[in-house]
A = this chain, B = another copy of it.
Amino acid sequence: MRIIDIRETAVPLNSTLRNSSFDFSEMTTSVVAVITDVVRDGARVAGFAFNSTGRYACGAQMRERFIPRILRADPGSLLDETGTNIEPEKVLACMMQREKSGGHSERSIAIGTIEVAIWDAVAKIAGRPLHRLLAERYNGGRVADKVFCYVGGGWYFPGQTLKDLQDEMRRHLNAGYTMLKMKVGGLPLDQDVRRVEAVLDVLGSGSRLAVDANAKFGRNAAVAYAKALAPYGLRWFEEPCDPLNYALFAEIAGAYEGALATGENLYSTQDVENLMRFGGLRADRDIIQVDPPQAYGIVQFSRTLDMLARHGWQRSAMFPHGGNQMSLHITGGFGLGGAESYPGVFGDFGGFADDARVEDGYLRLPERPGIGFEGQAGLYGAMRPLIE
């Protein structure tokens, strides 16, 4: 068996979203199809993925380097020991040929997106949902049936009132979610605090609310927000500063008793290990949010988890960035703390299967073969043309 083609198309998100640091008006994502010569139900098996949101499409790197390396390789050199399915670890090593050390995100997103599409094909060839394959390979066979899922919402919109924000949060609660996240840092501190208090009026408890500053703050603003937010006992305070400023993370952790969260803008195991060594984070409370399709994919994510375990971190501290079915399977398969959800934003690139239902804060894991994009009509409409 072999991979016969890998195709990519860039899709604009057409989003009007804005957080404290930037807007999404130009945002695109790469949709990838990995086409194999394996036939199931009368059709060739194809695996799909896309590169989450917040980083731009990366098809040029794929077409110039990563896809040709895979298609030029001896097909047998990419298979598992049974010779009947693809071994993603070998595909990853193939893509990494002739790449320099460091400088990860320039290629980690392109490679990670292809790698996750490979996994979709692998699971379809095996005839099983991806989360079950991952549970067997990476979690001692402990298969989950549902995943905790919170809403990444509370964006800034022009003309938004506190009541608009409260109405949004009520919609999420009515949809079955129990924990919500909102943006901070896009307004002066006193106005942001009023936004937080307005949402807490709806939610009741700070333990059900996280806030996200999207790396907006320097030292003084980060510490000022930490002090102002501390009394509310929030679930976590996300990306208070530059994701690479480990020394400032350590300073903020020293000044803020509550949980901090970061990781969606770290793209290599070594970067995350630097955060562990120098960032002053606390394994008993803080949250790590690496986005696997943006960080070399699932095989590399398993290595990051191994590294985190050596530093004393539990998998329950991991909440992968990216509110989509890829993160859902990864969260369930590896037994992580929870997944994110973006209801009503990012168009077809936020959300889960059309028949997915949230109950009491949990989503049932899908049982379609692979990741199950085929059960997500809008998104699959962007994927299907790649294999036609």
Contacts and interface: CB of A to CB of B under 8 A. Distances in A.
A274 B106 CA distance: 20
A103 B105 contact: yes
Contact of A100 (B59, B60, B215, B247): B215
A205 to B, nearest CB: 30
A27 B64 CA distance: 10
Interface in A1-45: 10, 21-28
A280 interface: no
Contacts of A274: 244, 246-247, 274, 278
Nearest to A104: B105
A166 interface: no
Contact of A101 (B100, B106, B247, B265): B265
A64 B59 CA distance: 11
A215 B26 contact: no
Contacts of A277: 246-247, 278
A102 B56 contact: no
A101 B217 CA distance: 11
Greatest chain B CB density within 10 A among A25, A98, A245, A278 is at A98
B246 A278 contact: yes
A262 to B, nearest CB: 9
A216 to B, nearest CB: 9
22 contacts: A22-B97, A22-B99, A22-B100, A24-B98, A25-B98, A28-B64, A55-B106, A57-B64, A59-B60, A100-B214, A100-B265, A101-B239, A101-B265, A102-B242, A102-B243, A102-B244, A103-B267, A105-B106, A106-B107, A244-B268, A277-B278, A278-B278
A61 B277 CA distance: 33
Greatest chain B CB density within 10 A among A106, A214, A265, A268 is at A106
Contacts of A59: 60
A109 B271 CA distance: 19
A266 interface: yes
Interface string A258-302: 000000011110110110011000000000000000000000000
A23 B98 contact: yes
Nearest to A24: B98
A176 interface: no
Greatest chain B CB density within 10 A among A26, A27, A268 is at A26
A100 B215 CA distance: 8
A54 interface: yes
A27 B71 CA distance: 18
Contacts of A146: none
A172 to B, nearest CB: 24
